[in-house]
Amino acid sequence: AIQMTQSPSSLSASVGDRVTITCRASQGVRNTLGWFQQKPGTAPKLLVYEASSLPSGVPSRFSGSGSGTDFTLTISSLQPEDFATYYCLQNYNYPYTFGQGTKLEI
């Protein structure tokens, strides 16, 4: 199975900061990667698909980039509601695999 390695595992930041989370795949996955946000006690929410596309309703302060093995999720100006854990997920081949998560503390 493809291994996804996220960094950092936790991150402390302030409202208004620009934050970047990275995800590295153990082999190339083209652009078949998504990013999810999960808040405690709730279901995850899809933020980015195909590495850089945002579903409708996702704020434009979120952006994704990368292809192959290295990917980033950037939040351009942190808002208080962005406190959450973020995960990448490769959907290049089965079994799909998540990164271990990045806990963002405001």
Per CB under 8 A, residues contacting other proteins are: 1, 32, 34, 36, 38, 43-46, 49-50, 53, 55, 85, 87, 89, 91, 94-101
Q: Least distance in Å: CB of 100 to other proteins?
A: 5
- In the bound complex, what is the minimum distance in angstroms from residue 29's beta carbon to other proteins? 11
CA neighbours within 13 Å on the CB side: how many for 93? Answer: 9
> Closer CB to other proteins, residue 55 or residue 70?
55
Q: How far is the CB of 94 from other proteins (least distance, A)?
A: 4
DSSP annotation of 77: S
Q: Of the two residues 17 and 65, which places its CB atom closer to other proteins in the complex?
A: 65
* Closest among 83, 71, 80 to 7, alpha carbons compared: 71
The CB-of-37 to other proteins minimum distance in angstroms stands at: 11
Query: Cβ neighbours of residue 65 under 8 Å, at least 6 residues apart?
Result: 51, 52, 71, 72, 74
Residue 71 has φ and ψ, to the nearest 5°, of -135, 155
